[in-house]
Amino acid sequence: MNLYEIADFLPTIPTNLYITDVNELYKKPNIFDPERRADWWYFTTFVDEDLHNFLQPYFDFPIEVYYQLSGRQLTPHIDQGRTFCYNYTLLPGGPDVKTRWYDQKMENIIYQVTAPLQTWHRLQVDVPHDISEIESHRLSFTIQAAKQ
């Protein structure tokens, strides 16, 4: 199992298809808690239909595409409802922010990587993982299989 790999079958996203203004994103509903917006440390919202339609042809299964906006370090966790995802980082959150994977006790780092900006990568998310210290907004896209 590869914890991380570049997904070079996915294209660079044209800038006219996405938003990088954090204040504009906060105007959209937060999927996890629609009532909480700008004060939420982890914010997720659907991308616009044009971006979704741009990406869907690269997959042979229905996908969901979200913006992910983090404002602080994520604690080690296992994603619920997915085993892997594809991410594309727009704002790194700091000069050396890393994605880190842990052993099953979530005590020891077994692998870490600083993902290059604006490059799709596949992440294994059914293994404990986190994001290291974030100093500013970290913004990315994430793609997963659509829930049936």
What is the per-residue pLDDT for 35? 66
Q: What is the largest CA-CA distance in the chain?
A: 43
Going through the chain in order, the beta strands assigned E by DSSP cover 4-6, 42-46, 63-70, 74-77, 84-92, 99-102, 109-113, 121-124, 129-131, 138-145
39 — pLDDT class (breaks 50, 70, 90): low
Q: Is the pLDDT of residue 1 over 80?
A: no
Q: Which domains does the chain have, with CATH numbers?
A: 4-9+20-145 (2.60.120.620)
- Contact 99/129 with Cβ under 8 angstroms? yes
Q: Is the pLDDT of residue 38 over 70?
A: no
% residues pLDDT > 90 (the chain): 72
Q: What is the pLDDT of residues 89-148, one digit of tens each?
A: 999 999 989 999 999 999 999 999 999 999 999 999 999 999 998 889 999 999 999 987
